[in-house]
Structure 1
Amino acid sequence: GRGEGGGGGGRGRGRFNRNQREQLPKVPINNQIREREVRLLGADRELIGLMSSSEALDLAMEQGLDLVMIAAEAKPPVCRIMDYNKFKFDQDKKTKEAAKKQKTLQVTEKELKMRYNIDIADYNVRKKAALKFLANGDRVKVTCQFRGREQDYQDLAIEMFKKLADELSEVGKVEGRPGGKATGRSLIMTIAPLATKAQVQADKKKKAKRDRGGARDDDDDDVEELVEDELETA
């Protein structure tokens, strides 16, 4: 008879045993699909059409694959032919990769040190570094230290900080006063990125996709997102 468990390749199909029952998927697959009529998508996400769930399951089994309901709320429900075990393996892999990427989404604070009388070349080097950090979604802490009577020139440092803040305004916003805050013998200005780490990563991903020759059809993207949304917690 038709199996209920995801097998891929037709191996090991059959009813779940006692241990497997604890791992039943949260979405109906194979014989768990009881609806009379379903809208079927093929293994390559192509639309096959309306048919009975038994016919859809026959098509899946002929290919050694599973029939998985990916949109139970649709009228009629949408099912897709796929290797469910392989899909779950890929989802677990994506989850682990996402956990690693999460670390890269943590905002770090980069510190740049400047002198009140810094020359234009060194100033531009630090400004370029600040632009890079902010564009990458990181905070920038700019510090100007004064030695001895150099504190008499604090106004020059404040003007320099204001100039830097203005030149970085397209990618960052100063936290507090644009001229910085005096702390002991230092003047400190912190600039927060306008874009979050997540936005930066998303933009890079879109750009890479365009550079590869364009995105897939929107319909394909929608179907894939639908599948992942329905099954990633299964």
Structure 2
Amino acid sequence: MARVTDFAFNPPPSLAPTTPAPHRAKPAVSRSSFFVRFPKKPIREGRVFPATKVAVVARYGGGGGGYRPGGGYGESRRPQGDARVADPDYDPALDLDRVKSSTVRLLDEQQNMIGVVSKNEAIRMANDADLILAILSVDADPPVLRLFDDMDYKKHKYEQQKKKRVQQKRSAANRVDIKELKMGYNIDSHDYSVRLRAAQKFLKDGDKVKVIVNLKGRENEFRNIAIELLKRFQSDIGELATEESKNFRERNIFLVLMPNKAVLQKGQEQSKKKETAATEASAKAQ
């Protein structure tokens, strides 16, 4: 029995790389880069094999797009995108790179108007007077900058942070959430009343309510009953809400109710009057 295995050999001149054209880069090829690979099959006596295929493999370096550690072929090891860590001490008002205009409108430390000057001139004035140059409005045309001393800038920064917190509270108070209530077409009276009270509470808090009736499989035959259930629910809510949208065509039919602001305001005024009357009555009793 004999076995043919891989062996290395030096290529003859016919396989050696010829001199490349002047416009092509010459690949770096070593003499040991070529080898012939035969299939590792046993040779049996009296059996004729077809011509064995010879695979000539060449490995050489050079050229772009090679493998680089940490990435695929042609990829750089440099991290993609902005990999910088956010600085907790970063102050956008002091980041003059945000000012793309070559001229700015400058105010002095007493908030007096200096006028329109170049950005470099404003920076020079701040450095000469040992003052802080801060951005008041980067979107203005031209951007508005002001000179501060240390104490005044700390006060200014505190006031700006205070205003930002107030705006965030107002936006949170004005935000309207959507509360979902799900029912079956054959819901019992107790569960129905629980969902009705929950919807009334959500609406009084200023939130929208989405009432959903899921119809699964053959339950789609009771679509008319589910629609009548939603209409009954809307009627029981009454003037506390108005209809925003509805969908009675899909398998999961729903009804979206939004709070009636006029009714809510009247209710709040009446509750305040009752509280005032109770307070006055308790004061007279004392």
TM range (shorter): 0.3 to 0.5
In terms of fraction of residues, the more helix-rich structure is 1
Tell me the TM-score normalized by structure 1.
Answer: 0.45
Q: Which has the larger radius of gyration?
A: 2
